[in-house]
């Protein structure tokens, strides 16, 4: 990530939003930690995995650029 690239601000904003979304889903995981078999817990687990992978994708593509 180079600050002199024109897309740096947009990419940084997008990455920040992704991590905020991931933090919210992780909060749902904490809230539902005792309800292991509920639908909310299953959706929260899936929701944490997908943005987590998306965040890793951002980090990998920015390192390669």
Is the pTM for the entire model greater than 0.85? no
* Predicted local confidence at residue 48, as pLDDT: 76
* Predicted local confidence at residue 65, as pLDDT: 60
pLDDT along the chain (65 residues), means of 10: 69 82 82 80 79 78 68
Which whole-number Å values give the CA distances from 45 to 13, 27, 29, 61, 64, in the listed order?
Answer: 24, 11, 7, 25, 29
* Predicted local confidence at residue 58, as pLDDT: 74
């Amino acid at each position: 990530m180079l600050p002199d690239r024109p897309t740096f601000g947009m990419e940084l904003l997008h990455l920040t939003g992704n991590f905020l979304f991931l933090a919210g889903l992780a909060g749902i995981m904490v809230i539902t930690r005792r309800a292991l078999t509920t639908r909310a817990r299953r959706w929260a687990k899936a929701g944490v995995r997908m943005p987590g992978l998306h965040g890793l994708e951002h980090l990998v593509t920015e390192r390669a650029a």
